Homo-oligomer: A and B are copies of this chain.
Amino acid sequence: MAKSPSTRAGAQARRQVWDAAIRLFAAKGFHGVGIRELAEGAGMSSATLYHYMGTKEELLASIMRASLDRLNDAAGRVTADASDPQAQIVRLVHVHVLTHALRPEETAVVDNELEALRAERRTAMVALRDAYEDHWRRAIANGCASGLFTVPDRTFARMALLEMCSGVAKWYSPDGSIALDGVATAHARLALQLLGVPAHTMPRPDPAEIQAARALVEEIWQVSLGASAPDPA
């Protein structure tokens, strides 16, 4: 099991293991990465590895849990103070897309390696994922109830939204020339269109909404997203 980070050096080594695991699991899949390869990626011997993690599967589970916990945290806070279902969807899309573009490897591991967990752990992860999806389900239900959204099936719509937003992690490259904010706002618009929001009702991209999502992601993921998109002041 994971030891407590007692010293500074220990915490750094733990981070190296964590980072190497995310990078390698995303690139080759959990079963495609051996202990020795993981150790080499983390810059230590395979035996030393076990000072900083439990079993290989526990390492995967802890990565997933941390990622899903942060996502749930963000989704809860971003929907709590927005009563308008349209704003809720926009914020959920922003958070989801920003995180999937910011951490494509981590999210790919969470999305693709559930099958590598044994039944008990996998069930727990599925519960976390379901809790996250529930934020989307409620927002869609609100929008449909108030007549804002028009979809043939709410479950299909929810799955479609989640899949299209998660897909960003598969093609987005952080060092590319595509601006993060642009990806997020474009997907927010696609999401509202998918939900049947008429063109004349569609709001312009609201800088306040964008900033709210950015700030939340920066806080929870402890990163800086750099400069905002150029403000046409």
Contact = CB atoms under 8 A, between A and B. Distances in A.
Interface in A154-188: 156-157, 159-164, 166-168, 170-171, 182-183, 185-187
A28 B115 contact: yes
Contacts of A153: 182, 186
Contacts of A227: none
Copies in the complex: 2
Q: What range describes how many residues of A lie at the interface?
A: 35 or more
Contact of A29 (B27, B116, B163, B187): B116
Contacts of A30: 29, 31-32
A55 interface: no
Contacts of A166: 163
A152 B194 contact: no
Interface of A: 27-32, 112, 115-116, 150-153, 156-157, 159-164, 166-168, 170-171, 182-183, 185-187, 189-190, 193-196, 198-199
